[in-house]
Structure 1
Amino acid sequence: MKKIIGILGGMGPAATADMFQKFIQLTPASCDQEHIPLLISSIPDIPDRSTALLKGGPSPLPAMQDYVNRLISAGAKCIVIACNTAHYWHKDLQASSSVPILSMIETTADAALQSGLKKIGILATNATLTTGLYKQEIEKRGLTYIEPSPEDQALVMESIYTLKAGNFDKAHEIMSKQKDNLFAQGAEAIILGCTEVPIILSKEATATPERYLDATLLLVKRAIHWYNEK
């Protein structure tokens, strides 16, 4: 049996589909059988991560642990999480998992360092910023971390939830202004640090990939590397 990668998704479904699509796009396959075996959990009843962290809402950890265990029981030998904010619970998930769970945060911070750029902006959820998930890893590597102003961050969140509600055009209109503001603050590259953001800014990230660090894309590349290791 080939190694199987499990995707812990559903946070939200569009972000999960984006990760799946990136696996397909990045795998040099000439037929169905050459693609990477994936098991995808896209069960969207996991409690909202931002609400849990910022408003005392129900923890998503029990549900995430349940779905990780289901993926492992189904044959997954490695897990990737299709949600940045969910990585707040990465250590807890790894502690209860019998297979490796690759970190999107560490993978992206490593890519930022390897890029040779020094000033790194971020577009992410309030919870990801408040918990310092990326800030800690970026600054640990000696890089400058730049995040939106409180006013701009409110609009970043509006854009993310607008996409979740299915309005891509409005979400893009809002987020485009926020990435311009980060570049104006001196950011040399921007981490797309919420799994909805690469979808919203897909055209920009495709046109000038050197200016964006797509956390989803980077994690998929790392997972493919894991799969290809002997």
Structure 2
Amino acid sequence: MRNTFIDNISLEETKPLFFNRIEKYNKKETITTERSLGRITASSVFAKVSSPNFNASAMDGILVRSKDTEMASETNPVILKEGKDPVDYLIDSALKLEAMGASFIVMPCNTAHYFYEKICKSIKIPFINMIDEVAKELNDVKKVGLLSTKGTYKGKIYENILNKHGIEVAIPPIEMQEIINKLIYSLKEGDENLDKIPIKDVLDYFSNLGIEKIILGCTELPVAFEKLKIEGTFIDPTKILALSAIKHSGKNLKNFNSQ
């Protein structure tokens, strides 16, 4: 979490301070993959100068104009300006990848698969559906639990596909969805107290239903579960997608385990 605040200074005052300090660091530095992953797995970066003393955004860093976003939070969003339909940006990205010569496209985001069909209609190259790949992996399963964001639950992204494969998707009650959401956003914000979040209550809920396999339907969840050292039979969609991409490229896989 950003917990070091000294002063807020103007951009023009910041520039000479920034560049003068950069000149002192002209040596090469080896950075581990974990540290390079940014807000999710790496430690938060503490700015001693010009670190605004107002809310930080889990997705986009610090706010620039606090007066415009006063009282805003993850659970109390404030719309500053109506933007374009997000699918337009996804389609634009897919078209750019196609123009760059990509043989196929993958999208390692669960919620964004809500727009999968629209994106497919806009491109000519194959687009691997992560949810479809998960369904193939669960071909011997009749019922599975789902941990995900509220957006994925609301869009029925997994139910719509898995039900076609004869797989029932169990959804936790609203109060437990709040627990999952808190875990996801706490990880994004760099909260070190993930162990205080009662995610075990959600897992016990599925266990009491006799469900043995649970889909980690948000890209942050596998990271959170690894940090918390939670054991169980969990399905990681992004891992399945990555291996599917390798197979799609014509390469062979050995000792593949999606759990």
**Structure 1 residues 57 and 120: CA distance shift in structure 2, 3 A:** farther
Q: Based on CA coordinates, which of the two structures has the bigger radius of gyration? A: 2
Deviation of the 1:104 alpha carbon? 0.8
**What's the counterpart of residue 221 of structure 2?**
197
Seq. identity, %: 29
3-state SS of 1:145 partner: strand
Q: Which residue of 2 aligns with 1:212?
A: 234
The yes-or-no answer on 1:96 pairing with 2:122 is yes
CA distance in 2 between counterparts of 1:187 and 1:206 reads 16
Q: Secondary structure at the match of 1:179?
A: helix
Aligned mate of 1:222, from 244, 252, 255: 244
Aligned 8 A contact 2:142 2:167 in 1: yes
Alignment partners' CA distance in 1, 2:100 and 2:190: 31
Asked if 1:125 is matched to 2:142, the reply is no
Query: Which residue of structure 2 lines up, in the alignment, with residue 74 of structure 1?
Result: 100
Matched with 1:86 is: 112
Q: Deviations over 1:159-216 (max 9, x none)?
A: 11111212254278443432232222221200111111111123689954xx111111
Q: Which structure has the highest helix share of the two?
A: 1
Aligned match of 2:161? 137
Q: Secondary structure at the match of 1:99?
A: coil
Aligned to 2:132: 106
Give the residue type in structure 1 aligned to 2:98: I
Q: SS state of the match for residue 211, structure 2? A: coil
SS at match of 1:162: helix
> How far, CA to CA, are the matches of 1:215 and 1:171 in structure 2?
23
AA of the residue aligned to 1:109:
A
Contact 1:190–1:213 (8 Å) recurs in 2: yes
- Code of the aligned partner of 2:213: A
The unaligned stretches of length 5 or more in structure 1 are 1-11, 18-42
- The residue number in structure 1 matching 2:30 is none
Q: Which has the higher contact order (CA 8 A, sep 6+)?
A: 1
**Conservation of the 8 A alpha-carbon contact between 2:195 and 2:228:** no
Pair 1:165 & 2:192 matched: no
Query: Following TM superposition, by how much is the alpha carbon of 1:128 offset from its aligned partner in structure 2, in angstroms?
Result: 1.1
Question: What TM-score, normalized to structure 1?
Answer: 0.67
SS at structure 2 position matched to 1:166: coil
Change (3 A) 1:13 1:121: farther
Superposition map of 1:56-71 within 5 A: 58-71=84-97
Once residues 250 and 180 of structure 2 are traced to their aligned partners in structure 1, the CA distance between those partners, rounded to angstroms, is: 36
